[in-house]
Amino acid sequence: MLIKTPQRSQLIESDVTNESIYHDRRSLLKNMGFLGAGALMNAALSKNANAGFFSDEVPSFKTQPLSYKQDSANQGLVKTPEQKVISHNNFYEFGAKKDQPVELAQGFNVDPWKLTISGECDNPITLDYDDLTKLFPLEERIYRLRCVEAWSMVVPWIGFSLVDLLKKVAPNSRAKYVAFETLYDPKQMPGQANRRLGGGIKYPYVEALRIDEAMNPLTLMSVGLYGKTLPPQNGAPIRLVVPWKYGFKSIKSIVAIKLLEHQPSTTWKNLAPKEYGFYANVNPNHDHPRWSQESERRITSGGLFTRNRIATLPFNGYGEEVAHLYQGMDLSKHY
């Protein structure tokens, strides 16, 4: 069924969301021929198309409470309200619109799950669903998350450092990169079955880090947020969180981690290499070709028209912990 989206609903959406950059990224996809009437049709069909930026829908997916050690250092950060964290998402496997994942991911099956860690290492392992929350003591990490689209949140993640997992598999001397892969299951992920709904991305979604970035203690394998296991729209049952890099590096619903000798291809860099680099370190001095990265819109408890533009910090404010990883590199070249 084809529905012609009235011009007006587009206006309402951009007014309400105030998210011109969101349209910018979609216009890239559109220019590349990926989005068209179909994507607008999806928007029109979406229950919340005109409900605004955040869904007030109560998600039906059942999360479980977790035991964890509180983040004592960062309790002073003003957190983005949970309802916003779980209803304003980028997870193109469940639709390229911000309010689609919370609607389309509620039936997602996370148990059983298999996560395989293999490649250039001495002890490859496969974890199942229970291992993800039981293998390591869990800690809360309250981190800023800066999307390349120039909005940001503060999220109380729960998880463990990736380095703990890497130590377990014992990388060998050829291991220079760590690659991550999201589940490929078009039956469960409608964006993988429908090219338009999925924003034209070639699936599975893949990401990677240099091994020293992966070993940095800030690099988190997250299994929860706000005290509970992750809801599917945020990447259940396990996702990466790399707080000094643009959000697209923080790959969701991971089924494979591979230690590699050579830098692998990664999803957004592959789609538009002039716009999205391999490193993707948050950098206010290197603009996206189509918009400035000098500032960001912090998503807070305020309403839709709250003034919440703040300056973007180099490495998203985590320079003390990570700037040394890039010493001697030209960050405008290695963006």
Return the residues of window 147-166 that contact Mo ion according to CB under 5 A.
Answer: 147
Residue pointed to by tokens 């990664």 = 266
Amino acid at 129: Y
DSSP 257-302: EEEESSPPP-HHHHH-TTTS-SS-B--TTS-BTTB--SEEEE--SS
C-beta of 157 vs 160, nearer to ligand MTE: 157
Which tokens sit at 280? 């993707």
- Quick one: 121 or 143, whose CB is closer to ligand MTE? 143
Residues 11-70 that bind ligand MTE (CB under 6 A): none
Work out whether 90 is an interface residue with Mo ion (CB under 5 A).
Answer: yes
CB of 210 to Mo ion, least distance (A): 20
Q: Choose between 68 and 151: whose C-beta lies nearer to ligand MTE.
A: 151
Closest contact distance (angstroms) between CB of 93 and ligand MTE is: 6
Residue labelled with tokens 């591979």: 258
Kindly write out the interface string for residues 126-145 of this chain, putting x where it contacts ligand MTE by CB under 6 A and - elsewhere.
-------------------x
Percentages helix, strand, coil for the chain, rounded to the nearest 5? Answer: 25, 20, 50
CB of residue 209 vs ligand MTE: minimum separation in angstroms?
Answer: 13
DSSP assignment of 99-149? THHHHHSTT---SS-EEEEEESBSS-EEEEHHHHHHSS--EEEEEEEE-TT
Site string for ligand MTE, 167-206 (x = CB under 6 A): ---------------x----------------------x-
Please give the residues from 239 up to 258 whose contact with ligand MTE meets the rule CB under 6 A: 247-248, 250-253
Q: What are phi and psi of 66, to 5 degrees?
A: -120, 150
- By CB under 5 A, tell whether 243 contacts Mo ion: no
For the chain, give the longest Cα–Cα distance: 59
CB of 23 to ligand MTE, least distance (A): 15
Which of 234, 283, 293, 312 is close enough to bind ligand MTE by CB under 6 A?
234
Residue 34 binding result from ligand MTE, Mo ion, none, given CB thresholds of 5 to 8 Å by partner type: none
254-260 and 125-128 beta bridge pairing:
unpaired
Where on the chain is the footprint of ligand MTE (CB under 6 A)? 89-93, 145, 147, 182, 205, 234-235, 247-248, 250-253
